[in-house]
Structure 1
Amino acid sequence: MEQTGLPLRSYVKWLRLTQALQHLAKGGRLTEAAHAAGFSDSAHFSRTFRALLGIDPSSALAAVDLQKS
């Protein structure tokens, strides 16, 4: 995409990832968040998350929970 500098497929993946993260931030479960964002299952979401951010979602959520305390 011209304005983002990302190919369309990568941009859509990023949008789905952020949608799942928003669901998780509202207290949703990992599998529910994955399905709500259009991932086939939580493993697909986790692989995509790890590939794009270099960390698995569980570790990222644990770090966020620690920072809230």
Structure 2
Amino acid sequence: MQAIHNGQCGVCGHFGERHKSDVLVTILSTKKADEGFIDECGHPKHAPLHLKVTAISGCDGFVPAAQA
């Protein structure tokens, strides 16, 4: 498990926004994620690219996720 910090995909509102899951809720509440967990970036600028990112990835389009 890796610690997730503000600015990283795991706590971004766009991370996995197309399919909510218990895994995403767990990442938001514990601020920790398995190194191998990958999900799609739903940022409007990146959505057409169908980017797959890890929870520790990050970009300038970070938007804090709503609290779990």
TM score, norm. by length of structure 1 = 0.32
For normalisation by structure 2, the TM-score amounts to 0.32
Instruction: Answer 1 or 2: which has greater helix percent.
Output: 1
Say which one has the larger Rg.
1
Query: Which structure is higher in RCO with an 8 Å CA cutoff and minimum separation 6?
Result: 2
